[in-house]
């Protein structure tokens, strides 16, 4: 089974470069700050709809930059969409 998580390390760098807080990103994506916190901390897997919203907002970056694919409980580093 595949699960998708936000690449927290990469996302923190992107937010810092854009001078956007985690809460600011939540507002821009029109989601609650609690949900944003859960996906940033890996407490929730990200739905396909939310992945599309994040990809649209961060158009400059590739899916593999923004997300980590978990397959059978292991990080799949060589996965390509």
Domain boundaries in the chain?
2-75
The encoded tokens of residue 79 equal: 């996965």
Residues with Cβ < 8 Å from 47, sequence gap 6 or more? none
Q: What is the spatial distance between Cα 62 and Cα 58, in angstroms, rounded to a whole number?
A: 8
Q: Which CATH architecture has domain 2-75?
A: Orthogonal Bundle (1.10)
Task: Label residue 15 exposed, middle or buried (CB < 10 Å: 0-12, 13-18, 19+).
Answer: middle
Is residue 72's pLDDT more than 90?
Answer: no
Within 13 Å of residue 80, how many CA atoms lie on the same side as its CB? Answer: 0
- pLDDT, one tens digit per residue, over 21-64 is 999 999 999 999 999 999 999 998 899 999 999 999 999 999 99
């Amino acid at each position: 089974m595949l699960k998708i998580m936000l690449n927290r390390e990469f996302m923190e760098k992107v937010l810092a470069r854009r001078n956007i807080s985690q809460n600011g990103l939540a507002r821009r994506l029109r989601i609650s700050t609690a949900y944003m916190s859960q996906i940033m901390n890996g407490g929730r897997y990200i739905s396909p709809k939310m992945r599309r919203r994040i990809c649209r907002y961060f158009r400059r970056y590739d899916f593999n930059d923004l997300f980590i694919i978990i397959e059978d409980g292991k990080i799949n580093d060589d996965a390509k969409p």
